[in-house]
Amino acid sequence: MYIIGNGLIARALRPLRDRHSGVTVLAAGLPGHHLPESENAREAALVRETIARCRAGGHQLVFFSTTSMYGGPGNNGREDEPVIPSTAYGRHKFDLETLIRDEGVDHLILRLTQVVGPEEPDFRLLPTLMKQLATGGIQVHRHARRDLLYIDDFVTVVDGLLSTRPMNEVVNVASGECVPVGQIIDHLAERLGITAERQVVDDGIAYCSSIAKLRATVPEVAGIDFSPGYYKRVIDRYLKDGR
């Protein structure tokens, strides 16, 4: 397996390099949601370059997309339903998915939820919330919901997917527990021993996805404890592993 990228996900997948031949994993996408159009163009160019490399080498392209494209009204977060992304980031990732399909390269598109792990960038969800809590005040978007997935469980899922080797498919990679961000803040504040004043804003997007297809595709998912409260266990592991 050839891995492109140096971030949290790319580093976590390195132990799998000798397990899955004939696969190129593109794990060098955009670092955040609010970036100039030039960064979108840069990632699109990288995708085209990787498609050409995969086609020349006979590799399957594994592309990491996002479940944040499921934020639109009436969407059930299923891979087989029409998607109308509600954010510029979601639209960008969906456009890249379309590019990959249109190019006809063998591929596996994985729509990722919030993957959490130590040494993740400051702009990610948990570091951002922790910084806000540390100021003594935090804004809570009432309708925002997020699904957290710990990096070790993510690697187990991806390893299982690559062993099954679905071809030209789209699969959600998430825990299936999508909770209000306010609950994530509650647990973080409790674990950190911080009391912060909250300003509740009556907006927010719920990025929730179905993992029915993932469960049906990857037997290893049954061995992961995705029972209620999983998001709390993710936060606990994150804090324990040195964030």
* CATH (domain of 112): 3.40.50.720
Segment holding 93, helix H or strand E: helix 88-103
Tally of domains within the chain: 1
User: Does 36 score more than 70 pLDDT?
Assistant: no
User: Does 28 score more than 90 pLDDT?
Assistant: no
**Structure confidence at residue 117 (pLDDT):** 95
**What does residue 199 show for φ and ψ, rounded to 5 degrees?**
-110, 115
Region label for 237, one of left (φ > 0), alpha (ψ between -120 and 50) or beta (otherwise): alpha
- Quick one: average pLDDT of 43-64? 96
- Quick one: average pLDDT of 69-88? 86
User: Which carries the bigger pLDDT value, residue 38 or residue 195?
Assistant: 195
Residue range(s) defining the domain that contains residue 61: 2-240
Q: What is the distance of C-alpha 86 from the center of its chain?
A: 16
Extended beta strands in the chain, E state: 2-4, 23-26, 60-66, 107-112, 114-116, 137-141, 145-150, 169-173, 178-180, 197-201
**Structure confidence at residue 169 (pLDDT):** 97
Q: For residue 24, give the DSSP letter.
A: E
Q: Using an 8 Å Cβ cutoff, are 175 and 113 in contact?
A: yes
Instruction: Output the pTM of the full model.
Output: 0.94
**Structure confidence at residue 35 (pLDDT):** 58
pLDDT in tens, 163-211: 998 999 999 999 999 999 999 999 999 999 998 999 999 999 999 999 9
Q: What are the helix (H) ranges across 118-204?
A: 125-134, 151-164, 181-192
> By C-alpha distance, which of 43, 142, 22, 133 is closest to 96?
43
pLDDT in tens, 121-138: 888 999 999 999 999 999
- Quick one: average pLDDT of 90-119? 95
Query: Mean pLDDT over all residues of the chain?
Result: 92
Residue 77 CA to residue 203 CA, distance in Å, equals: 19
